[in-house]
Structure 1
Amino acid sequence: MEEMERKKIKRTLEIDEIIKLYLEGSSTTEIAKLSNVSPRYIRMILSDYKIGKRSFGNWKRRYKLNEDYFKTWSKNMAYILGFFIADGFISNDLQTIGFAQKEKYILEQIRNELGSNQPIFQNKQTGVYMLNLNSKIMKKDLMEIDGNTWYYTK
Structure 2
Amino acid sequence: MTDEAIINMYKSGMSFKEMQPIIGLSDRAIRNVLYKHEIPMNREQYSGQPRKNKVNEDFFKVWTHEMAWVLGLFVTDGHVNKQYHSIYFSQKDERILKLIAKYMEADYVLAPIGSTRSTPTLIVNSKKIKMDLEALGIVANKSLTVPFPNIPGEFLSSFVRGVIDGDGWVGKEGYQMHITSGSLDFTEGLLAVFHSWGLKTKITFIKGQTGNIIYRLWVNGKNELPKLAKIIYKNATFDDFHVYKRVYMTQHSDAPYCIEDKSSLPRWKLIDGKLVHTQGSRTPFRTNISKSVLDFLKGVAKEKKIHINYLIESGLEKVLKQEVISYDRDSRPKDRIQYKTTYDAELLANVREFAKRNKLFINDIIEYSVQWIDIE
Please report the TM-score for the alignment, with normalisation by the length of structure 2: 0.23
Structure 1 partner of 2:121: 130
CA drift at 1:150: 5.0
8 Å contact from structure 2 (residues 86, 123) kept in 1: yes
Structure 2 Cα separation of the partners of residues 97 and 135 of structure 1:
8
Structure 2 partner of 1:139: 130
8 Å contact from structure 2 (residues 59, 104) kept in 1: yes
Over residues 32-53 of structure 1, what are the superposed CA-to-partner deviations in whole Å (9 max), with x where a residue is unaligned? xxxxxxxxxxxxxxxxxxxxxx
State the one-letter code of the partner of 1:116.
A
Structure 2 partner of 1:47: none
Structure 2 Cα separation of the partners of residues 60 and 120 of structure 1:
17
Structure 2 Cα separation of the partners of residues 92 and 60 of structure 1:
19
What SS does the aligned partner of 2:133 have? Answer: helix
8 Å contact from structure 2 (residues 98, 108) kept in 1: no
1:130–1:64: structure 2 CA closer, same or farther, 3 Å change rule? Answer: same
Structure 1 partner of 2:64: 74
Could you tell me which of 84, 98, 101 is aligned with 2:91? 101
1:130–1:71: structure 2 CA closer, same or farther, 3 Å change rule? Answer: same
State the identity as a percent. 29
CA drift at 1:117: 1.6
What SS does the aligned partner of 2:87 have? Answer: strand
Over residues 23-72 of structure 1, what are the superposed CA-to-partner deviations in whole Å (9 max), with x where a residue is unaligned? xxxxxxxxxxxxxxxxxxxxxxxxxxxxxxxxx989943x3100110000
What SS does the aligned partner of 1:99 have? Answer: strand
Structure 2 Cα separation of the partners of residues 77 and 107 of structure 1:
14
Please report the TM-score for the alignment, with normalisation by the length of structure 1: 0.54
8 Å contact from structure 2 (residues 90, 122) kept in 1: yes
Structure 1 Cα separation of the partners of residues 69 and 118 of structure 2:
24
Over the aligned positions, Cα root-mean-square deviation in angstroms equals: 2.7
Structure 2 Cα separation of the partners of residues 67 and 149 of structure 1:
17
1:149–1:95: structure 2 CA closer, same or farther, 3 Å change rule? Answer: closer
CA drift at 1:151: 2.1
Alignment of 1:25-44 (within 5 A): none
Structure 2 partner of 1:113: 103
Structure 2 Cα separation of the partners of residues 59 and 152 of structure 1:
24
CA drift at 1:121: 3.5
8 Å contact from structure 1 (residues 121, 131) kept in 2: yes
What SS does the aligned partner of 2:71 have? Answer: helix
8 Å contact from structure 2 (residues 86, 124) kept in 1: yes
Structure 2 Cα separation of the partners of residues 59 and 124 of structure 1:
23
CA drift at 1:92: 0.6
State the one-letter code of the partner of 1:142.
L
1 or 2 for the larger relative contact order (CA 8 Å, sep ≥6)? 1
Structure 1 runs not aligned, ≥5 long: 1-55
State the one-letter code of the partner of 1:120.
L
Structure 2 partner of 1:46: none
CA drift at 1:118: 3.3
8 Å contact from structure 2 (residues 133, 139) kept in 1: no
Structure 2 Cα separation of the partners of residues 150 and 93 of structure 1:
9
Structure 1 partner of 2:141: 151
